[in-house]
Structure 1
């Protein structure tokens, strides 16, 4: 294989005697170099697999490397190494940190069973902690005064200024944590006295110069008057006296002196008018600039005291966050890095042990590492064992704390023999590469030795002749240009985007139907382009719905990989509106939204008459009161009136259930009762909407596992996520391999490639409002402050400089992001933008992509003046064009007609009213409606599709469902369909049994969940030597809390039932062995690799007894008799065998015994997990993964079909 590599790639694979820095351009085969280097170290240098550490940027990249390396070992018949790669140190840096901390938990001072929080959970914990810290340290009066001083106005008119402050404070806190600086050192306290004096002296020199000019030259009358006014203001301000006071007095009055001086300087500054004659204009302009500097210095000095207050508050907030996380054994992603650094710095012997262990370290995507990650790598690396791969031109994750300067510094300081450049591109057509080289030769003209700008240390990338992308792949000839520019014009940006999106949809359809673009790379089979070959890339998804609408309009199938986000989808918004009404029925705005939504589905006329009835009667009423009197409003049509009456009955039912159940159960009930999910199937993207509603229930359940939630809590959490734009992805329903156009952000497309790339919405400025609380290592914390004498904001010098740095860095990253977007294209690149007639060309200074392209190509600001084919054949700055570049240029005028309506639009128009309110044209029973809908969906999707599931993690439950019935698994786990009846696939009689329960009895499923949670939380340290609870009250309190979480009655009978089970278990022989064991772990999640397929699950309890034997226990809370146990064991045998297989894989130790413990009738039963007994398991796993590969999930018929929840649609 190595003989197919280029010379530069071979050098990267084979050089092992020094540190290596590889600069890998896009499409240059860097992953292959990493894989080949790993294999070369193992094969040629005999380095054991577990002595190579490989760090990647994403889990997906890590999995891809594992698969490719394992495949390479398999080809060389190296079975031992192929198996070892599954457990190799090949992961993201976060996974490596987590592994290291777990292995050294005692030394790190953390709970070995810590759990890493996701972004949602981390955000919630910080918000709660901030609330508590504010409550403890301030009252309403002092907090208001503090906000007056620091946060002079709210950042968003839709939020209170307190809410804005909280969000900005958390953002600031994270920036400081990732800067590797103690919070206590973030308030810059340097003495500014001398700087202030120096600035004043410079201003005084300029005043003297102006006086000389005034007396020495005859100035025009108007100029002389303006100069005299400035000199008078200077003289009367008596700044020198105030400056002396500022230097000499060090008392609490210092702030008032600084403030007085600040306002006097501002008076002088405001007196300067630059409409002057040439003689004096330059000196007055210099004076104004110097006074602005002096104002900034004085504002800086004045802000010092309040900076200390903010710093001290952040210190306390940090302590509170740490204590809360420690108490609950939680860690966030930043903690993983910080605690790893502390471990390695404080326990040097662990760092030395890692250095001895790992002979070589490979790091991918080095341009995107953060300062914390660089410290970790420096602490574990040895001399001449580091191999890094990166490309400064593709550093686009600054918002995730990536620091491109780290890679640039290494690149600059590496000797030429250790620096390898991969510039051959094996992805894109030469014409596409020539176009990219031309654009960026203009945008990045500097060499690697020069630096851009005055504010930051970042090196300007270079696209000189040595750095330009070179074609490494051969393509067949193509008669059409490979680059297109589409410009749509509108009276405003919104209209321009509308025309642009329509032209994109039209162009995609033309290319597919006319066969204009083909796959021509000679490594692949030549064929026509299909929809799956298109990707539309966006910098921002703010207006993505416009583009979705245009694609739907022309029946172009599409799939949104990165949209506006899960929490902003219509169906989630509708559900949250309903939850708000349930929480607060008096909220008229949300109630009106719910009445119009598919939950009720009344039309505008009905809503008008309801509102009219409420507001025009003698005694004005609320909208919710008008609902009770809907029968008296004759103007409302009968079908709308019936809907409202049904809604009121439903609301009454919800209010009864609400206090008696958990929140996720309540939401499940709402969706089931209103058939809201089934209604979503009637809309476009119905399957995705359906899946999103399933996901919100799951998210709610996960949040409640963290801490019990009230309805108000959950609404606030979701609203917080929406405001902070947390990017929770929508639930996936389509495969990316379907024949669909992909809509994706450029950030998400990093590392991917597509035959046709359309970069849309390029005439969007890269501008955002400045943060109110900012931080940099050089200047510390800074913010605008309120001037109490003028009631205006003052801008400290540090705030201005930090913001200049931020804007400069963001503009540079914007250019790199454009580079990444363009280099995703293989065969064809389309750049499109919608421009405003009043501004026909983008503004370069604001990071406008269309502005970059149009100015580089020399396009006329009037699109009509540009030719249809633009030709580039010059050789500016050494650019080496493989041939003349032809670019197709299309202009869309405002008066263009929209495309003809598709059949789908005509259908929606024909039945507009019925579909808008989810009216059924013929109204069958609800159950039949669901069955018919499900049958129709299945008829369109039941076909064989080969899907790549290599990166998916399957659950044990999914495998058990498949074993029970492949088709049931397909309906439930792949399609996400909700069954007709609430039935359990493994416990067919649970519904019937639950219907027979008395009011004070616990349903079986909830009982099982409660028992597991009690066993998880009630620690063994609370048991005495006889396996009984030391404190009965503590145990009962645990049980009571868990009953409350599930909304169940906390009566003594239920509490004693569960308490007796806990005591009985620990008093049994098995329980006593657990209590006396060397090591035990409860509720342990695992992932293990079965023939390149990942399987996850959770084991109730496993332990190593005194003899060191490994045993597994799974609790069962079924209420059964002794003679029923053998039948139940058969149901769970496969599950227990899977658990044993997982632990044996992970711990590399044989499981001695696998026990099903039936709490009723207190009976342990051993499950056979011998090789012979596990034949059925192996057969099931092989069938499971084969079914996924073939896309065939056959029905398993039998008696069980009678009670299956999918009986009606199977």
Structure 2
């Protein structure tokens, strides 16, 4: 039994009422969640009546990773209880089996499952796809651009008016920004009402200004003779005109007149109050003038938003696509509007647990309340358990609303539930925690009536090491390089800790509010010879250098893809400037009726007017692209990629850029992945591009090469990315950084309404509603930034080092984290303050279009030469097929996956008896079954498969095997449910077993059962097992596929089957956990080897080995 604090035990044991837990940083909330889950089952076992099973508990986590970790921890506890509790071992074994059906998922994963189970009731196509975030962003941009473009073409008065006021591009931008709040905006009601309410104050303000003008004119003689007195005399002379202007202040010419007389007044001691009041009223009248202009524009915005919302929904239905926000809204609609579905799901879950509740929103709260008791506004029942920490709510940009957590805590208390506080910190040493307690009691306040208030944490670890603050002083001359100076100081401190205190680089992290400052710190580490990794939250396929190369591949496959070609031209490969590209696209628009593509335009002689130097750059690009297109027609994918590297000189080009070695490592990784794909799937360029699209749709998050080198390094990451993590040494620099201004022309707040900017005399000016929203946002942003700092500082286990810069030449201190902390800590002696001075040198950064032709020097080549190929790739990524190869013959595995040698190619022809070579036979049948699943008829599917692999001869025996299977009972059973063919995956499937490698593969057939589970089918055309189990490689492959499918679809994969086509037999696997443990052991065995001699030869495989021509150990 684990040791828990009194508060933790209370959270675990309180099962008879609703519970909220305020879990401070490092307070062990994950242990509590897991043990509460297990305790629910334990108490159910002890009580008479209906038994609660693992599948009756709904657990919602913030990320898929957290869901996976929680499920694995629960699995380990259930396994322990099965071994420890002999009396109830069968019960715990049953719970282990039911755990695969348990809903431990993200909110979006749960919503997805709910909609998949009830597509008709939700009004959705059962085959709807959930778009990855990047894909959805691209879809929304493209769709909103189409919406605005179509509106302009058909002369839509609202779109035309808005485009005239803001430009068409800005209308697109603002509509995109409005999408997350679209429903709230459209449900607000009368959007004009806030403006009309303000304009109702106009007469009062105009009267007050008239009175003040008269007072200034009458009392002018009380002011001493001065320039100010002369202005008052002029005001007296023109008083009638000014009074008339004040009475009709909406007109811009009247406001200009009033500005020229009142706005220029400099108050003296005698009339200071009157002048100040007049200026304030004048400013309010300016706002009212903007509000009056908004009365014309708000209806335009409202109509545009209504039409855009309808158009987006229409396009999503046409494309059968939902985003994460859509999952929430459609699931909520389903539960609200269908009482039967709501009642079924509310009854289904006896207990509901929600983690990270501080980062939920109102829509998610309503959804949870409906699941609890069927009422979105009232918390009914006693099944809810929420865990959160308001002090760590930092996801407003994703729609999180910390007030929702506060409301739910109040609702729980009002319903007789328990609000429990976990205030014991087991992560951070006392000296760091003391500083945090002091700082955040002041920053966050301790008023318990507020939504967020500070609760002190109790330390459980002691130290003598004091936290540090590094203060970088700068003046006007050194201001520009203050961040570089700070980065250099931090690099020096990291070296000291590493060399003098023997602290490993991987135990140190630099946390930033935003990654915009990452380059300064990375450069400083690089110059100091300190290895580092930037964790930017982007997937491998979203990195700029990878996108550039993928765009090039897309163009080489299909020259009509003008947008991708434009991306290639704009990339560092060719560095074509935006002005030239704009000229080309304007020419394309002119030739729109002729449907000319960008590539066709580039082949023409009549280019738009582009100067000589830029024209030469374009000609150079066209020549090299034409050459690459010729290569792409004949070369296999791996050879094409290596040719691209040579033709475009990617190695020196990328190595010469900032962080070029990391970029080059990523390119090499992409090439390695493509080579692996070609080996396994005999894939073409078109096949590989389709695979990349599938990976994005499946949400694949391949790690960047720089993160996978295995080298111990300092981590640079954002505070958001660090949430939930901990590090022995934490640096929190750039505390003086300020937020950037915004260029939004439209904002919404549920209380204030829709704020816009309007054109007043050629300048966009805020309306009163916009200013009110900005004030609200400023307060919310400021509060969240304080919480971000709390998250950052509480990541530290042993050492905390803060840093920032300040202007030593200024007497006043600007408001930022750094100045606030210095003020709070000025009398505190339990931290070390170290002062430094910034130097005088700065750094310039050039864009791709500014780059001159890279000169390939010996020095540059020396920088490239020691760069290793992408890590030990064979230890970082594995496929199920690779494991089978290793089991067949370790030496064959070594040649194919480590040396990546070419094997001899089998002849693509049937023999005289109609048999194809074994490998080709399997490939053809797999392809035919894939086409069959995707809608082909039986005969065309097989013919197309033969054509795809250029098979010669009749292949009659292979055809017989294919037909015998699809007309047999095994395949006929599959046709009764929804299926998907050839689902690809790249996932770290064995992390819980200590294997971090990414596993890849293709699941032949995924069956979506009516009960919400999955069945996995893998086709085998080889010899079926005579008796008992199939070959271990087949079983391991099936276990990995079962695990991958569950991860991909967030559904339990209850069954996995091997279908042997030679005799229509089937072998089934239900629980894959033991097999995955065996796979992990096998991986450890493989990874322990380095030399060829360690990879032994199995001679029984030699006759089928593609490397027999080379292998010295063959028979």
Q: What's the TM-score, normalizing by structure 1?
A: 0.69
1:110 is aligned to 124
The 5-angstrom pairing of residues 31-70 of structure 1 reads 31-46=30-45, 47-70=52-75
1:392 is aligned to 390
The 5-angstrom pairing of residues 937-948 of structure 1 reads none
For structure 1, list consecutive stretches of 5 or more residues without a partner in the other structure.
154-160, 244-258, 451-458, 516-527, 598-618, 629-643, 859-870, 873-883, 899-910, 922-928, 995-1002, 1030-1034, 1124-1128, 1157-1163
Please report how far the alpha carbon of residue 212 of structure 1 lies from its aligned counterpart in structure 2 after TM superposition. Answer: 4.6
1:268 correspondence with 2:268: no
Whole-angstrom CA distance in 2 between matches of 1:96 and 1:203? 57
Judging changes above 3 Å, is the alpha-carbon distance between structure 1 residues 665 and 380 closer, same or farther for their aligned structure 2 residues? farther
1:914 is aligned to 857
1:169 correspondence with 2:175: yes
Judging changes above 3 Å, is the alpha-carbon distance between structure 1 residues 814 and 30 closer, same or farther for their aligned structure 2 residues? same
Question: SS at 2:725's partner residue?
Answer: coil
Question: SS at 1:510's partner residue?
Answer: helix
Whole-angstrom CA distance in 2 between matches of 1:890 and 1:1017? 67
1:792 correspondence with 2:763: yes
Judging changes above 3 Å, is the alpha-carbon distance between structure 1 residues 1207 and 337 closer, same or farther for their aligned structure 2 residues? farther
1:1203 is aligned to 1107
1:822 is aligned to 793
2:719 is aligned to 746
Judging changes above 3 Å, is the alpha-carbon distance between structure 1 residues 1148 and 296 closer, same or farther for their aligned structure 2 residues? closer
Deviates most, 60-69 or 555-564: 555-564
Judging changes above 3 Å, is the alpha-carbon distance between structure 1 residues 1011 and 773 closer, same or farther for their aligned structure 2 residues? farther
Pick one of 1079, 1083, 1106 that aligns with 1:1181: 1079
Judging changes above 3 Å, is the alpha-carbon distance between structure 1 residues 265 and 150 closer, same or farther for their aligned structure 2 residues? farther
Whole-angstrom CA distance in 2 between matches of 1:136 and 1:399? 30
2:456 is aligned to 468
Please report how far the alpha carbon of residue 449 of structure 1 lies from its aligned counterpart in structure 2 after TM superposition. Answer: 2.5
Listed one character per residue, the Cα deviations across residues 960-989 of structure 1 (whole Å, up to 9, x for unaligned) are 45545668878988xxx8x665x47xxx52
Please report how far the alpha carbon of residue 1135 of structure 1 lies from its aligned counterpart in structure 2 after TM superposition. Answer: 8.1
Whole-angstrom CA distance in 1 between matches of 2:205 and 2:837? 56
Judging changes above 3 Å, is the alpha-carbon distance between structure 1 residues 1170 and 1153 closer, same or farther for their aligned structure 2 residues? closer
Please report how far the alpha carbon of residue 785 of structure 1 lies from its aligned counterpart in structure 2 after TM superposition. Answer: 2.0
Judging changes above 3 Å, is the alpha-carbon distance between structure 1 residues 993 and 764 closer, same or farther for their aligned structure 2 residues? farther
1:323 is aligned to 314
Are the counterparts in 2 of residues 1078 and 1103 from structure 1 also a CA contact under 8 Å?
no
Please report how far the alpha carbon of residue 679 of structure 1 lies from its aligned counterpart in structure 2 after TM superposition. Answer: 9.4
2:88 is aligned to none
Judging changes above 3 Å, is the alpha-carbon distance between structure 1 residues 1018 and 499 closer, same or farther for their aligned structure 2 residues? same
Pick one of 949, 967, 972 that aligns with 1:1069: 967
Aligned length, in residue pairs: 990
Please report how far the alpha carbon of residue 1016 of structure 1 lies from its aligned counterpart in structure 2 after TM superposition. Answer: 4.5
Are the counterparts in 2 of residues 20 and 420 from structure 1 also a CA contact under 8 Å?
yes
Are the counterparts in 2 of residues 363 and 388 from structure 1 also a CA contact under 8 Å?
yes
Pick one of 404, 407, 410 that aligns with 1:406: 404
1:504 is aligned to 490
Listed one character per residue, the Cα deviations across residues 824-849 of structure 1 (whole Å, up to 9, x for unaligned) are 111111112244555598621xxx32
Are the counterparts in 2 of residues 841 and 850 from structure 1 also a CA contact under 8 Å?
no
Judging changes above 3 Å, is the alpha-carbon distance between structure 1 residues 270 and 147 closer, same or farther for their aligned structure 2 residues? farther
Please report how far the alpha carbon of residue 545 of structure 1 lies from its aligned counterpart in structure 2 after TM superposition. Answer: 2.2
1:809 correspondence with 2:780: yes
Please report how far the alpha carbon of residue 914 of structure 1 lies from its aligned counterpart in structure 2 after TM superposition. Answer: 3.4
Whole-angstrom CA distance in 2 between matches of 1:306 and 1:186? 16
Are the counterparts in 1 of residues 930 and 1004 from structure 2 also a CA contact under 8 Å?
no
Judging changes above 3 Å, is the alpha-carbon distance between structure 1 residues 885 and 206 closer, same or farther for their aligned structure 2 residues? same
Whole-angstrom CA distance in 2 between matches of 1:1196 and 1:210? 99
Whole-angstrom CA distance in 2 between matches of 1:279 and 1:682? 67
Whole-angstrom CA distance in 2 between matches of 1:124 and 1:422? 42
The 5-angstrom pairing of residues 535-574 of structure 1 reads 535-562=509-536, 571-572=545-546
Whole-angstrom CA distance in 2 between matches of 1:649 and 1:574? 18
1:79 correspondence with 2:99: no
1:203 is aligned to 206
Pick one of 637, 652, 666 that aligns with 1:691: 666
1:833 is aligned to 804
1:487 correspondence with 2:472: yes
Judging changes above 3 Å, is the alpha-carbon distance between structure 1 residues 235 and 966 closer, same or farther for their aligned structure 2 residues? farther
Whole-angstrom CA distance in 2 between matches of 1:893 and 1:121? 43
Judging changes above 3 Å, is the alpha-carbon distance between structure 1 residues 267 and 699 closer, same or farther for their aligned structure 2 residues? farther
Please report how far the alpha carbon of residue 934 of structure 1 lies from its aligned counterpart in structure 2 after TM superposition. Answer: 6.4
Please report how far the alpha carbon of residue 95 of structure 1 lies from its aligned counterpart in structure 2 after TM superposition. Answer: 1.0
Question: SS at 1:771's partner residue?
Answer: coil
Are the counterparts in 1 of residues 11 and 36 from structure 2 also a CA contact under 8 Å?
yes
Whole-angstrom CA distance in 2 between matches of 1:170 and 1:1175? 45
Judging changes above 3 Å, is the alpha-carbon distance between structure 1 residues 1177 and 673 closer, same or farther for their aligned structure 2 residues? farther
1:1000 is aligned to none
The 5-angstrom pairing of residues 1106-1185 of structure 1 reads 1154-1156=1059-1061, 1165-1166=1063-1064, 1169=1067, 1181=1079, 1183-1185=1081-1083
Deviates most, 119-128 or 233-242: 233-242
Are the counterparts in 2 of residues 990 and 1004 from structure 1 also a CA contact under 8 Å?
no
Are the counterparts in 2 of residues 361 and 387 from structure 1 also a CA contact under 8 Å?
yes
The 5-angstrom pairing of residues 355-754 of structure 1 reads 355-382=346-373, 383-411=381-409, 415=413, 418-445=418-445, 447-449=447-449, 459=451, 461-463=452-454, 467-471=455-459, 473-476=460-463, 478=464, 480-487=465-472, 489=474, 491-515=477-501, 529-562=503-536, 571-572=545-546, 575=549, 594=573, 651-657=625-631, 670-671=644-645, 676=650, 686=661, 689-692=664-667, 694-695=669-670, 731-734=704-707, 739-754=712-727
Judging changes above 3 Å, is the alpha-carbon distance between structure 1 residues 1010 and 470 closer, same or farther for their aligned structure 2 residues? same
The 5-angstrom pairing of residues 825-904 of structure 1 reads 825-835=796-806, 838=809, 843-844=814-815, 848-858=816-826, 872=828, 885-894=830-839
Listed one character per residue, the Cα deviations across residues 107-133 of structure 1 (whole Å, up to 9, x for unaligned) are 212233322111121122212322332
Whole-angstrom CA distance in 1 between matches of 2:4 and 2:763? 64
Q: What's the TM-score, normalizing by structure 2?
A: 0.75
RMSD of the alignment, in Å? 5.7
Please report how far the alpha carbon of residue 685 of structure 1 lies from its aligned counterpart in structure 2 after TM superposition. Answer: 7.8
For structure 2, list consecutive stretches of 5 or more residues without a partner in the other structure.
46-51, 84-91, 374-380, 577-609, 844-853, 911-919, 1025-1029
1:308 correspondence with 2:299: yes
Judging changes above 3 Å, is the alpha-carbon distance between structure 1 residues 1102 and 740 closer, same or farther for their aligned structure 2 residues? closer
Are the counterparts in 2 of residues 486 and 890 from structure 1 also a CA contact under 8 Å?
yes
Are the counterparts in 2 of residues 960 and 1134 from structure 1 also a CA contact under 8 Å?
no
Question: SS at 1:793's partner residue?
Answer: strand
Are the counterparts in 1 of residues 733 and 804 from structure 2 also a CA contact under 8 Å?
yes
Please report how far the alpha carbon of residue 751 of structure 1 lies from its aligned counterpart in structure 2 after TM superposition. Answer: 0.9
Please report how far the alpha carbon of residue 7 of structure 1 lies from its aligned counterpart in structure 2 after TM superposition. Answer: 1.8
Judging changes above 3 Å, is the alpha-carbon distance between structure 1 residues 740 and 340 closer, same or farther for their aligned structure 2 residues? same
Question: SS at 2:789's partner residue?
Answer: helix
Question: SS at 1:498's partner residue?
Answer: helix
Whole-angstrom CA distance in 1 between matches of 2:269 and 2:664? 68
Question: SS at 1:775's partner residue?
Answer: strand
Question: SS at 2:728's partner residue?
Answer: strand
Judging changes above 3 Å, is the alpha-carbon distance between structure 1 residues 1153 and 783 closer, same or farther for their aligned structure 2 residues? same
Please report how far the alpha carbon of residue 241 of structure 1 lies from its aligned counterpart in structure 2 after TM superposition. Answer: 11
Please report how far the alpha carbon of residue 593 of structure 1 lies from its aligned counterpart in structure 2 after TM superposition. Answer: 5.2
Whole-angstrom CA distance in 1 between matches of 2:330 and 2:768? 34
